[in-house]
């Protein structure tokens, strides 16, 4: 039901990529049947290789303005460095777009958002992040055929908003570590963005 929330538990890149694909697919179904939109809230469990994606339904779609910064993410991108950039944009009340191709890039994107949430929590100013996921077609240099990339729109919000999504007894899904529906893993990755300064 669109009023419920779901926790997806993943570990490492392949199952996290599978979780992201599931969210995008579910978002289309929920929108068509209930006119609702899905948002994802990444966090960690015992370590930063174990990603939890809390998926919630909401009335408003998370969208990025036309001039929103776009950060390309590769499998080699340092998630802590990327998280620093995400947190800085959030502090400036800016929505940004993260985009990457392949399971490892997807893994680093979602880890970066989770780390950025930790940075904002440390600020103790009540800021938090909501994200929406979708597939987009991108034209890579030197390739005639377009490639499918995951685009994550990250928008600043408040902890009060994300806290309202917390409820006991929500459905949970455990994804196997080796579950793999790789997202075009044989295609070249989008180059990593220039490295912003890393936050402690």
CATH number at residue 62: 3.30.110.20
Q: Which domain holds residue 111?
A: 5-174
pLDDT given at position 175: 44
Residue 189 counted as domain residue: no
Q: How far apart are CA 188 and CA 181, in angstroms?
A: 17
Residue 169 counted as domain residue: yes
pLDDT given at position 66: 94
Query: 5-15: per-residue pLDDT in tens?
Result: 899 999 999 99
Residue 195 counted as domain residue: no
* Confidence grade of residue 150 (pLDDT, cut at 50, 70, 90): very high
Residue 197 counted as domain residue: no
- Whole-structure pTM over 0.85, yes or no? no
Question: Do the Cβ atoms of 62 and 37 come closer than 8 Å?
Answer: yes
| Structural domains in the chain (count) | 1
pLDDT given at position 144: 79
Residue 14 counted as domain residue: yes
When mean pLDDT is compared across 59-73, 82-96, 105-119, 169-183, the lowest value belongs to 169-183
Residue 62 counted as domain residue: yes
pLDDT given at position 7: 94
pLDDT given at position 142: 78
Residue 199 counted as domain residue: no
pLDDT given at position 3: 53
């Amino acid at each position: 039901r669109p009023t419920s929330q779901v926790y997806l538990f993943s570990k490492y890149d392949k199952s996290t990529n599978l979780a992201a694909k599931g969210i995008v697919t579910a978002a289309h179904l929920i929108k068509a049947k209930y006119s609702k939109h899905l948002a994802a809230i990444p966090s960690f469990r015992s370590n930063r290789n174990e990603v939890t994606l809390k998926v919630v339904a909401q009335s408003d779609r998370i969208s990025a303005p036309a001039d929103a910064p776009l950060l390309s993410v590769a499998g080699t991108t340092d998630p802590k460095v990327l998280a620093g950039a995400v947190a800085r944009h959030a502090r400036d009340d800016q929505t940004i777009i993260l985009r990457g191709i392949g399971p490892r890039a997807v893994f680093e994107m979602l880890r970066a958002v989770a780390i950025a949430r930790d940075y904002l929590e440390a600020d103790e100013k009540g800021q938090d992040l909501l994200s929406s996921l979708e597939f987009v077609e991108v034209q890579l240099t030197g390739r005639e055929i377009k490639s499918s990339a995951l685009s994550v729109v990250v928008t600043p919000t408040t902890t009060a908003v994300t806290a309202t999504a917390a409820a006991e007894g929500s459905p949970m899904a455990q994804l196997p570590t080796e579950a793999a529906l790789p997202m075009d893993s044989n295609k070249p990755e989008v180059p990593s963005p220039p490295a912003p300064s890393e936050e402690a």
